[in-house]
Copies of this chain bind each other. A is one copy, B any other.
Amino acid sequence: MTGTCTPEWIALDWGTSNLRAFAMQGATVLERAESNAGMRKLEPAQFEPVLQDLIDPWLHEGLGALIACGMVGARQGWAEAPYRAVPCAPVAEGLTQITMQSGHRVHIVSGLSQTAPPDVMRGEETQIAGFLSLNPKWDGVLCMPGTHTKWVHLSAGEVVSFQTFMTGEIFALLSESSVLRHSVVPDTWDGSAFQDAVADSLSHPERMAAKLFALRAGDLLKLNDQGSARAALSGYLIGMEIAATRPYWLGQNLAILGMGAQAQAYQGALSAQGVPATMVDTERATLAGLTAVHRQLKACI
C-alpha cells in the first residue's frame, strides 16, 4: 500500500505477471507499491486505471516522468515500444510516450531485438543498463535467469549479442504438467543429484528426454531417492544450457543477475565447471536502469 509522499519521478517495472512501482527522489526509493496486474491479465484499456489506482497517493503537480520497462511495451501491452536492434547501448533516447488523463506522462523503454539468430528481450535491457551504471566499463557475459533465461555479451557499454533459453518454462511445464509431476516433490533439493545431472548433460545433452523418463521409471521401480527428481530435472536442463553457452562464457567475466534459488542453481552449475560468477540483485539493477533512463531524459529536456 502507498502512503503519501511527493516523489520527483516514478519507476515502473511492469512485467507479464506483476507491476512494481517505486516513488523516487533521484536514485532513492521513497516508497514502493506492488500489484499482480501483470501484462498477461490486462486489456490495453485497463493499464491506465490499474496504474492510476496503484500510484494515486503519489500524484502531485510537480511530479516528473513515469518511466516503465517490461512487457507493458509489448504488442499485447499498453502501447507497443518498437524493438531496437543490437549491437547497441541497452537503453537510448526516443522512448514511447503515453499521456495519462491526469496529464502525467509515461515513458516506455524499448526492448532489444536480434536478427541472426532471431531473439528479443523486454525489461532485461533496463536491468543491463542498471548493471552497467553500477559497474561502469564492465565487459563480459551476463546470465539473466528467468522463465526465459538470457545470456548477454556486453562490450564497451553495448549489447553485442544475446541468446534466450526456454529452460525455465520447460522446467515448469515438465515438473507441473508432465508424467514427472508424480515424481517431482515441490520444495525439495538434492545438491549432489543436481550436480550429477549437470555433468551428465554436459557430456551427453542429446540424452535429455531419456534421462527425464528414467527419473519417472526409477521412482516407479523404487530405485531413486525420494526428493532427488526435482534437482535432477533442473540439472539436466541447466546442464544443456551451460553446454550450449560455453562459447559465450569461456574465458569471460561472468555475472548472474538474481539471488534466488534459480540463480543459485546456475551459479552452482557454473562453479562446478570452474567458472566463478558474481551475483547481482535484480531489483537493484532494474532501479539503477530506470534511474539511468530518468537521468538521460532530464538531460534532454
Q: How far is the CA of A241 from the CA of B212 in the complex (A)?
A: 12
Do A117 and B173 touch (CB < 8 A)?
no
Tell whether A241 pairs with B209 under 8 Å between CB atoms, given A177-B173, A178-B166, A179-B169. Answer: yes
Write out the residue numbers on chain B whose beta carbons fall within 8 Å of the beta carbon of A114. Answer: 217
From the candidates B148, B169, B217, B224, name the one contacting A164 in the complex (CB within 8 A).
B217
Interface centre among A113, A165, A174, A224 (most CB of B within 10 A): A165
Q: How far is the CA of A204 from the CA of B206 in the complex (A)?
A: 8
Does A54 interact with chain B (Cβ within 8 Å)? no
Do B221 and A113 touch (CB < 8 A)?
yes
The closest CB in chain B to the CB of A237 belongs to B209
Tell whether A165 pairs with B218 under 8 Å between CB atoms, given A170-B174, A223-B115, A223-B118. Answer: no
Write out the residue numbers on chain B whose beta carbons fall within 8 Å of the beta carbon of A179. Answer: 148, 166, 169
The closest CB in chain B to the CB of A182 belongs to B76
From the candidates B113, B206, B217, B223, name the one contacting A244 in the complex (CB within 8 A).
B206
Q: How far is the CA of A237 from the CA of B240 in the complex (A)?
A: 13
Does A163 interact with chain B (Cβ within 8 Å)? yes
Q: How far is the CA of A206 from the CA of B213 in the complex (A)?
A: 18
Interface residues on A, range: 35 or more
Does A42 interact with chain B (Cβ within 8 Å)? no
Do B206 and A119 touch (CB < 8 A)?
no
Q: How far is the CA of A221 from the CA of B112 in the complex (A)?
A: 11
Write out the residue numbers on chain B whose beta carbons fall within 8 Å of the beta carbon of A244. Answer: 204, 206-207, 209-210
Interface of chain A residues 89 through 138 with chain B (CB within 8 A): 113-115, 117-120
Does A5 interact with chain B (Cβ within 8 Å)? no
Tell whether A206 pairs with B243 under 8 Å between CB atoms, given A113-B221, A174-B173, A213-B148. Answer: yes
Does A214 interact with chain B (Cβ within 8 Å)? yes
Does A220 interact with chain B (Cβ within 8 Å)? yes
Write out the residue numbers on chain B whose beta carbons fall within 8 Å of the beta carbon of A207. Answer: 244
The closest CB in chain B to the CB of A163 belongs to B210
Tell whether A165 pairs with B210 under 8 Å between CB atoms, given A170-B174, A204-B244. Answer: yes
From the candidates B164, B177, B210, name the one contacting A117 in the complex (CB within 8 A).
B210
Do B204 and A118 touch (CB < 8 A)?
no
Binding site for B on A (CB under 8 A): 75, 83, 113-115, 117-120, 148, 163-167, 169-170, 173-174, 177-179, 201, 204-214, 217-218, 220-221, 223-224, 237, 240-241, 243-244
6 contacts between A and B (CB under 8 A): A117-B210, A166-B179, A166-B213, A173-B177, A201-B206, A209-B237
